[in-house]
Structure formats: C-alpha cells, structure tokens
Chains A and B, each alone.
Chain A
C-alpha cells in the first residue's frame, strides 16, 4: 500500500515537473493532496486531463524550440529532443513514475507520505508530492543532513537578482550571523541576494567552531529546475559548495530544465520549508514578493531589511514594512522573531534556544566580540594575519589615525567616491587612498563598481574569513572569478 502511494507521489511529481498547476488542480478537486494520493491513478489522470481541456496546449512553455541551453546541460539526450508536452503526455499515459526517476547516486527522495517529509511544508495549500534532495555524494549523508535540517530553525533569505552592494552586504552578513547561531539559511541559488545569502552562510560555516556532527547544514538551496541541474550555469561552483556542505532541494524530477513558470512554484517551496522569510531587496514586481505572499498565506513570519529610500530595489521591503513586516537590521532581529514563535514548533525551537542561550560557547562569545569590532581593525583579521598587520599598524598608528577618523566619518555620512572624500576632508588624494586601502583590507570599508566606497554594515566583514582556517572546499568557492 505504502509502495503504491509512494509511486503515486513520484508519478505526480513527474507530472508536476512538466506542467504548471497540476497540484492546484488536484487540490481543487479532492480538497487536499493526501486525499488525491489515495485515489487510483487512472482517476487522477482523468481529472488532470479534464482540467487541461479547453486550454491551449503547451502554454506552460512546453516547446522544445524555445528551450535555453542553460540548465539543460546535464539533461539526458531524450529530454533535449522531446518537448515537455510529450513528456507530460507520456507520463500521464504511463500511470506510473518513469524508470528514469531512479535517483542519481547519493541522492535522497522524500515523498509526501514519508515521515521525513517536512510537516510545515505538508501544511501549505499545494505541497509538492515529492522532494529530490542532493547532499554530498552519499544518500546516508544526505538523509542525516535532511534530518538535522528539519530539526533546526529555518529562515529564507530572498531578494532581487540585481542588488545594491549594500543589499549584498546585508544578505551575506545576515546569512553568516544566522548560521553562527545554528539557523539554516534557505534560498534559491539565483544571482544577487540569493547567492549573497548562500555565500555568507558558507563562509560562516568555515569559521563555525562548534560544528559537530549534530550541527545543521548551513544552507539549503531550493531549485527552480532539477536539483542536479545547476542554474544559473555560472553558479556551478556555488552549487557544488552548497551540495558539499548543505543540501540542494527541488520538487522537480532530475534533469528538469529551468523555465520561468517553475520559479514561482519554487518560491512556494522555499516559503513552505521555512519558519520565517527575510526579504533583503526587491522591486515592487520582484519574485521575492511571491515568496512573501506564500509565506504569509502559510502563516510564516516575514522580515524586511530597510534600504535607501527612493531606490527601486527598496520598494519591495519597504512595502512589506508598511504592511507590518518585522524590521530586520541584523541576524539578531531574526533570532528575536524566531523566539516569538517558539511555541509553534517547540520540537525545533526549544532545543535550539537552550543551546543558544545556555551554551556560553562559540555563538555567545562571538557576539560579545562583535561589539568592539568597530574600534579594532584587528578583530576582523585572523590570528596569523593579526600579528603581521598589528606590527605594521603600530608603526604608523599616529600618522594615520586622524586621516582615518576623517575618512571613516565622511563615508559614514554617505557612501562616497574618493573625490568626494577628498573634497569633504581636505586631505590629499594620496592620503585618502592610503587610508581607504587600510580600511578596505580590514573589511571596515568596501569598494563597489563606480568607485564608490561605503562603510560595511551588518557585520558583513565576516565575508572575508581569516587566512588559514578555510576548508579547501570553500576556498574553491570564494576564489572563483577574481577578475576585475
């Protein structure tokens, strides 16, 4: 019996991979997904066919001609020659999951009826019938990580694909801070904020000291294509890093290429998996707001990071704040919000809060140190770096301190170009450049395209972990593309 229902789930997952609205149609007809799963497949097929009648076939982007090269790289030849409409019809007629659904080695498949299926996700209106999960190369590792993932607080960090440098700082900073406190950062591996949050989380993982066997995975990527397809393609290394340390999840069957309609569907999974959603930046039409809508539908907490007034990318979060979203200035705000909802998922939050508040270990100590970072340049640097840098600094401490103060004060008022700092402080270009180099090296100031420098906020300087403590895997990730 369970086997039959498991097969039904996989079959529905396959159908849902090739056409939008499959689950919605079933839920509309049967009330909820679990009822639908218990029905005979022939009946389900009839329902789905009826549902499609009268609608133009292939309106869900199911033509092979428009297929992008992106993402379909790993797809088998069969899928590259057949249109998605054909795949849909084949699956519908077969009344069983295709044999190609056999997982790639090391993969985990969690279906709706499994105990390992997340309860919070099961409760949304149109839950995915199955989730395909990649974690490292070992199914047992993936399963253990999946268990720890579900036992930890989970927060989605979402936002636009073309963020401002400030937005990236915030995403990476909040991501890192959450991981340090044992929260899993969930995002979509897209350009911009998503990638920033993943990277922040991965970097914090490299410095996390208490990372024992029971620590949750730092970050989970929910894909809008098959979990084994890296999209966008240039995020291959990020995908690899997330897979190595965390999990890559998708509701779509292996090898499904990326299509525009799959991303809103993916966003509902992100919202469904998480306890809270943080929106960093996004325009009024941003896909991040879809995630928020779904999160609000499911009764999740929504937090928004404030930005510069009047910018297009701050319209989204500011709109949410106006509607009553919680203000998010750092990871601490997120933790506070999670404290407020501890009763809703006591199995997860109680042990977590006990660790966080009781354990005087890594996270607490780190927090204490965060306070003095604004004064001391050395705290951002690792131990090896500190000794060298400290000796260099002591030699010139007096000379630079006044100029430093002036430059940092000017940048604190607003991000400025070197010329603007020169005009404001009255220092020479050489002096300003010299100060900026020091500050940029120790992470207090960051340069951005256009030659605008800004004071790094939101503990973003953790982006640059100390030398010597990196694990090779993350070294790979952050090293890539150091082109100007």
Chain B
C-alpha cells in the first residue's frame, strides 16, 4: 500500500517542497530510504521505527520503502522524521490519508514526541511557495512559521497528535503573529551608549558610521574601550523595519540562534566572532551550506576584534559580501546565496604590543614587526573601510567622574533623521545609505559648495589621494552633512571627513614606517 504527504527540505535559506512517499510490501523485512538523503535522514529510520512502536502503533515486518521526491534535491537534517512516520501510518492503513495540500516537518523522539527543528520561517515560506495550505510543525517551530501569512500552521507535541491533525484534516491553529506589534514591544537593548565615559571622538565616529552605514575601524591600546563602543553601535542604528526583521529572523532561524521577542529577532544583530574563525565560518559554508557570521550579522553589526589577527583568507573572503551585501557559497552539489548587508566594525591595536603612541607605556615593537603587523590588512579590505578612529585610554579621573554621556536614543534620533535625508536623495537608485553609493552616484548625488570643492581639490593634489580615497572622503562628508541637516556638503564637512581616513598618506610618511 502507498502513503504520501508533503514536506519541505532546506537548502541554504531556501526551502524546497518535498513529497514523502512510503510503500509497504509483503517481502523480506527492510526499511529503505531513497531520494538523495544525507546521513541524518538515514538515521531517521531508527527514530521513526522506535517512535511508532512507542506511540502505540504497529510496525509490521514488511519491506518499507520511503522515497523522497524530487530525487535530485539533497535532503538533510532530522526534519523529515515526522512526515516519514505519517506516510508510513497511512501506508499501513493505521491512519486515513489527510488532505492533499498538507505538509509536515518535525524531528521524532524515541518516545513518539515531536521536537522542534530550525528554520521555521524559511520552511513556512517554502510551503507557501510550493502551493500547500497547511503545515504540521513542532510547537517550538510553529511560532516562527506562523509569521508567514497564508499558511495554516498546526503546532503538535507528539506523533499521535500529528496523526490526529492529519486524520481530521486540521486542528488547533497557531496564533497568527503581528510583526509590527512584536517589533513595537521589543525589549530595550541591554547596553546603551550612555555607559561610555569620555571617548568623544569615537562616539562621533560611531554616529557617522551609523548614519551612513559606513564601515569603521577603531585603533587603540588594549583596554581603551573598543569592544565596549562597538557593542553599542547597533543601539544607535535605526530600529529594524518589518522586512528587515523578517530577513534577519529567516537567517537566524536557519542557523538556530535564539530570538529576542517571541519568534522574531527584533534587535539589530551584533556578531563578534573570535579571530580564529575559518573562512567557512565567517562567510558561510559546509557540504549543505549554512550561513556564516557575516550573514548572521545581516542588517546589523559584524564586529571583528583584533582585526589583524584574523586569517588573511577569511578577511579577503569578506570583500565580496561587503561590496554586494550578499554572499554566494558554491559547493559541489549546491550553490546558496545568503544576505550579508552588514556594517563592519573592526578593532585593532596600533602595534603588536599595543602601546604605540601611548604616553604611559613604551612601545617595544621593532619597525619590522610593526610593518608586518600593518601589512596584515590588505589594501582592498581597507578600501572598504570608510572611517578610522583612534581610541585612546580614558583618564582615571574621567572614569571616576561617571558623568554619563549622551544616551543611544538621542544619537539614534539624529541618525534616523540623517537616514531619512539619504533615502530622499537616493530614492530610485536602489540603495539605502551613503556608503553604498558607487562612483557615479557620488558624482550625481553629492553636491559640494565651491569652497568645499576647493578644499577637496587642494587635499587631493597635496596628498596625492587615489580616486577611490577621494570618493570615500566625499561619501563620509555627505553623511556628516546629512547629520548636520545641510543641503550641500560644506567645508567643515569635508575637513572632518578628511580626518577619518583622508590624511593617512601624510601620517604614513610622518611615521617613517617604510
């Protein structure tokens, strides 16, 4: 006899509809799964057999053949346990066939319970795309799946409950979720910019970085507060929009990271991978590709502490995602595209010992070591970092004074206003922030006053800036002008912008590090 049910399989962030067909024949007893299953799916034979017996059903000594169609899509993970078990029950006549347009996902425990699986949002979207109407899902997964409209989600706790839902053609539905309300009621951030004492320059750089979505590099001795500052960068970014929140939740759901408010990720992500991370860990990878840190930081902040200590290959691999806002991971059987629109915040010491330029400590690095340390950051990666700021140690007296700085909320308001101005100016170009402007868009959109243009020309000639560096100065100046509410980029904006990266040629010459 034949039993079948719909299900979904995850490939990267995309869910493909899968048909689970089970045939039970009177032949030599066996349990075979065909249709490109991976090891986790093969193991589900033991879980399914035991769960069926423990849930009080019969498991006859017959030949059981499970086919997962289409056979050219690789299926992985334990989420096919439940549909296999349900198709088996239908095939053995222990359950009447349910409605055609019903799908199921879930991992089975040996006692017949149903356990949550990752990627609820992506799975439900796959169900909708496949034209199915209902999804039987583990209770822990159903919440996220219910974020997708047009799909009826039925949360279940056990195999018996799932069988009942399928037999009845429906059951208790998961509560539909209002994403807007969830976003509005998100718990406040657990850190705030007002915790930072002093650091006026770094705060300003943080504000400019947030306003224009510019990548930021903080350079300073150990213990000067680089990590503390970076941790607060997401709090000054404007709140997530509905689309952004769903995009972030999709990635985090597949990766299985915990969410902030119910099923939804409501805060801008902040990811701080350790510098020993591999290339695959950073940009995504694996035989069936999983999103990497750069995708988990989508619409948020990717913080790379000790930037110079990261593997060169991993940092080089960051170039494409930083440029395109997405990353494509290609493996032998599959190719997946993950979103990766991040603000990169890097932190590093000024030299290997950390005390170059520090007044209290003597630096003990030789010129050779210093040169080697600096050469670890390649030019192409540095080209994508618009802001560089020196973070100094805060004097003890100031630390004790505990005069709180401005709170994140105040900065966030200014940032949001600047972002609105950018959105108005960049409407129709398909980009959201100044940092994403191409050379052509910089020419077309950024208006400089004549005096500002003169300052820029003088600096260009004087410092022999590259065209790319000059473009970077203009972009940052435009963001500063947006923060200022100015109609055109003025002299002071260009000058401040020059201080973030533009004067580097001058300083390299001065430092005599050659």
Binding site for B on A (CB under 8 A): 161-163, 165, 168, 191-192, 195-196, 199, 232, 234-235, 237-238, 312, 381, 384-385, 388-389, 391-392, 395-396, 399, 417-419, 422-423, 429-431, 433-438, 440-441, 446-452, 463-464, 467, 478-484
B window 368-400: CB within 8 A of A: 368, 371, 374-375, 379, 382, 388-392
User: A196 to B375, Cβ gap below 8 A?
Assistant: no
- Nearest residue (CB) in A for B364 is A162
Task: Tell me, rounded to whole Å, the shortest Cβ–Cβ distance linking B484 to chain A.
Answer: 8
User: B461 to A417, Cβ gap below 8 A?
Assistant: no
Q: Which residues of A contact B359 (CB under 8 A)?
A: 452
Complex CA gap A192/B513 in Å reads: 8
Say yes or no: A449-B495 contact (C-beta < 8 A), given A441-B503, A482-B508.
Answer: no
User: B496 to A434, Cβ gap below 8 A?
Assistant: yes
Starting from the known contacts A391-B451, A440-B499, A446-B507, 7 additional A-B residue pairs (CB-CB under 8 Å) come to A385-B461, A423-B200, A437-B495, A441-B459, A449-B350, A463-B510, A482-B505
Task: Tell me, rounded to whole Å, the shortest Cβ–Cβ distance linking A69 to chain B.
Answer: 12
- Nearest residue (CB) in A for B357 is A450
User: A196 to B496, Cβ gap below 8 A?
Assistant: no
Say yes or no: A437-B498 contact (C-beta < 8 A), given A235-B514, A451-B357, A482-B504.
Answer: yes
Complex CA gap A121/B374 in Å reads: 42
- Nearest residue (CB) in B for A391 is B454
Partner of A395, one of B367, B491, B511: B491
Q: Mark B321-358, 1 if CB is under 8 A from A, else 0.
A: 00000000000000000000000000000110000111
Q: Is B198 close to A, CB under 8 A?
A: yes
User: A449 to B201, Cβ gap below 8 A?
Assistant: no
Task: Tell me, rounded to whole Å, the shortest Cβ–Cβ distance linking A125 to chain B.
Answer: 33
Q: Is B438 close to A, CB under 8 A?
A: no
User: B496 to A417, Cβ gap below 8 A?
Assistant: no
- Nearest residue (CB) in B for A168 is B512
Task: Tell me, rounded to whole Å, the shortest Cβ–Cβ distance linking B210 to chain A.
Answer: 15
Complex CA gap A480/B502 in Å reads: 17
Task: Tell me, rounded to whole Å, the shortest Cβ–Cβ distance linking B476 to chain A.
Answer: 11
Complex CA gap A447/B267 in Å reads: 38
Q: Is B204 close to A, CB under 8 A?
A: yes
List, sorted by A's number, 30 A–B pairs whose CB atoms are closer than 8 Å.
A165-B510, A168-B510, A232-B367, A234-B368, A385-B461, A388-B461, A392-B458, A395-B451, A417-B201, A422-B201, A429-B203, A434-B492, A434-B495, A434-B499, A437-B495, A438-B495, A440-B503, A449-B356, A449-B357, A450-B221, A450-B350, A451-B389, A452-B357, A463-B510, A464-B462, A464-B506, A467-B462, A481-B508, A483-B374, A484-B501
User: A483 to B379, Cβ gap below 8 A?
Assistant: yes
- Nearest residue (CB) in B for A452 is B357
B363, B451, B458: most-surrounded residue (chain A CB, <10 A):
B458
Q: Which residues of B contact A417 (CB under 8 A)?
A: 201, 390, 392
Complex CA gap A438/B362 in Å reads: 30
Partner of A429, one of B201, B454, B455, B513: B201
Binding site for A on B (CB under 8 A): 198-201, 203-204, 219-221, 350-351, 356-359, 362-363, 366-368, 371, 374-375, 379, 382, 388-392, 450-451, 454-455, 457-459, 461-464, 480, 491-492, 495-496, 498-499, 501-514
Q: Which residues of A contact B351 (CB under 8 A)?
A: 449
Say yes or no: A450-B459 contact (C-beta < 8 A), given A161-B367, A162-B367, A234-B371.
Answer: no
User: B514 to A385, Cβ gap below 8 A?
Assistant: no
Task: Tell me, rounded to whole Å, the shortest Cβ–Cβ distance linking B199 to chain A.
Answer: 7
Q: Which residues of A contact B491 (CB under 8 A)?
A: 392, 395-396, 434
Say yes or no: A195-B512 contact (C-beta < 8 A), given A395-B451, A433-B499.
Answer: yes
Complex CA gap A195/B514 in Å reads: 10
- Nearest residue (CB) in B for A395 is B451
Partner of B454, one of A392, A431, A438, A483: A392
Q: Which residues of A contact B499 (CB under 8 A)?
A: 433-434, 436-437, 440
- Nearest residue (CB) in B for A195 is B512
User: B495 to A312, Cβ gap below 8 A?
Assistant: no
Complex CA gap A441/B461 in Å reads: 11
User: A441 to B200, Cβ gap below 8 A?
Assistant: no
Q: Which residues of A contact B390 (CB under 8 A)?
A: 417-418, 450-451
Complex CA gap A343/B511 in Å reads: 40
